[in-house]
Structure formats: C-alpha cells, structure tokens
Amino acid sequence: MSTFKTNTALLILTALVMIPTVNAQLLRIPDGVNLSRKTAQKIGVTEVEVNYNSPAVRGRTGQIWGTEIAHYGFKVLGYGSEVASPWRAGANECTTISFSTAVTINGKSLDAGKYAFFIALEADSVTLIFNKNTGEWGSYFYNASLDALRVSSRQLKNQSFTERLSYVFEAKSEDQMELSLLWENWKIPMTIGVDLNATTLASIQSQMSGAMGFDPASLEAAARWCLTHEVNYTQALTWIETAVSPALGGIERFEAIAIRAGLLEKMGREQEAATVVNTALQNAKPAEVHNYGRQLLAQNKVDKAMEIFQFNFTKNDGAWPTHAGMMRGLSAQGKLKEALEHAREALKQAPGEANIRILKEAIMKLEKGQAL
C-alpha cells in the first residue's frame, strides 16, 4: 500500500474514533443512577418550579452529609474548576428554581426569575444560595458575584428516611408555603412567601389589558376583586363603568351596579354612590337586593344592611327570600326573637334542600339564643 493510501486510511480511522467522543459530550443520556425530576406548585398566581436530578442513598446511610457526596461549606471540586463551591443540592446539572413573580425566601426578597440553587452545608445550619447562572454543570463553575440571594436556614435531622433526594411542597397557606429538600434522614426547608394582593392585582391588570378588557363579565369580576380587597379603586371604577356601558352591551344586573356604588363610596363619593344604589334598587329582583344586604353585613354595616332587608321585605310583600333577609338583619342587631319568627316563615317558602337545611340550622341556633 502506498504512503498516500496509508495516511488516508489513518486519517479516516482517526476521524471515526473521534466522532463518538465528541458526540458523547453533546448528548445528555440518562445514567440510570440519578433521576431527572420536576415539581411545581402555585401560591395565588405565583408559579414555583424546581428542576433537579435525584441521587439515591444506595446503602450509604450516615455517609451522605459532610462527605464527598454532600460536602460542608465551600470546596474546590477539581476537574478543571479551581473555585470554592457550595453543594449542588442535587446531582448532575445544577438544580434550578423559578418564580413567576417576586417572592420572599425565609422573609428575604427575591425577584421573579429562574435561579441555580445551591446549599452551603454546615453541621447545624445551612445557607441557601440563589444564583443567576442557570446553565452550569453542578456547582463546578460557581460564581459568587452572580448570587441574587443568600439566606440562612436550619436543617432538621432524624427525619423519616428518604431514599431518593426529593423536593416537596408542604404547609401551604393563602400567601406562603414550605419547600423542603428531603434526603436520607435530613430535611432542609425554606418558606416561600408572596404579596398576594400585589401579585394578584398585577395578574388581573395584565389580563384586563388583553381580550378580557372587552368582556363585561371579566371586567365586573376584576372590579369586584378590587372592591373586596380594598385596592386599585380608580382603575376598578373604570372597569365596572365599562362593563355596564351600552357600548359593550351593558350589564344591567343589580350586582354590577352595586359594585360601582361600592367603589364610589370607597373613593369618598358617598352621595353619588347612594344615588346609584337607590335608582338600581327600584328595578332589582328580590334575590339581588337580598345579596346586596348580605354584602353589607359582611362589611359589618349592620344598620345599612337592615335598611336594605326591610326595603326588600316591604317592596316585595314578604316574598322569598325577604323573610330570610329579615332574619339575618335582625339577628345581627341582636333581636333574636324577631329573627326567629322570620326564620320560621322563611322555612315555609324555602326552595330546594340546601335552603331548607340552612334555615333549619338557623332556627336551631336562634332557639338556643345564639346569633347567626
């Protein structure tokens, strides 16, 4: 074989040998040991998502924490990295946590976004680290200057055994929840909190700037939320006035008009609010007036609510549900005997099993001298 042919063959063989090596560096192939996992939860409108790789204990109980597997403090990990790095809080690629709105972590503020999540472990405390570089492998190329937040926490030891590292959402309430890393016999928790009113309002405003801003029912719902939560009155008034405008077909239901009146009152325009309500009351259905009275009771406006219940009762000659309204108004005023009389009359008229059950329970309480 000529020298030319020999060299050509060697070049081809070399290329064939090199190709798998290069491709293997580009491919992400499951290793069968560390499972790729994702978990997510919402607090109000805030979406929280964790992406991580889950190693197993595999018989190494008592040899996880403070070892090569999950080292304490900051350590130079080698393999070309000379940076002192925290634990990657998982395996393989870096663990990431994303938040769709601003949150607090153990009471400390963190902007919306996606973060690499690391933990600096110590024997009796931990530091949770949220870092802006989400593309690195593990924590080998950790850069402390990109930390968005460091916050202290404390691990709980001697917990129920967890074979595979897991992130679990727990203890959820209206405006916060706990996210915990569980592995072996440790639990590392953090409390994630949100400003529920601020995040919900921002979401509503965003939706109202789109197609929903032309939908009367959506406009009414947005205005009602603002009135109930006592925020954003001026914009909410614009929404409800748009909802009742003839240009969008107009919502003539009393509830929508009552929302408008409630916002006007909150803005100090009491006389205008009273005029709006009084005009609407003349054409409102008994059930609509009844619900308005109950809204006033919920706002602790007992005397005003009683005026509405009395108006409804008189105007509609005691038709359903005006006796029920009188029952609630009189009970709120402490006039339990009179409330009981109306409750018994309401029971005679009540449509449906649900109303009958509610009134029977109310009668039992009033008979015992208990307010509703």
- Per-residue pLDDT tens over the stretch 229-242: 999 999 999 999 99
Identity (one letter) of the amino acid at 133?
A: N
Note the pLDDT of residue 6: 44
Instruction: State both tokens at 34.
Output: 């560390």
Residues in the chain where the model's pLDDT stays below 50: 1-29
CA angle in degrees (0–180, nearest 5) for 217-223-229: 135
CA–CA gap between residue 119 and residue 145 (Å, rounded)? 16
Instruction: State both tokens at 29.
Output: 């192939």
288, 255 in Cβ contact below 8 A?
Answer: yes
pTM over 0.85: no
Kindly give, in sequence order, each residue whose CB lies less than 8 Å from that of residue 367, ignoring residues fewer than 6 positions away.
340
Note the pLDDT of residue 19: 38
- Per-residue pLDDT tens over the stretch 289-348: 999 999 899 889 999 999 999 999 999 999 999 999 999 999 999 999 999 999 999 999
Note the pLDDT of residue 32: 55
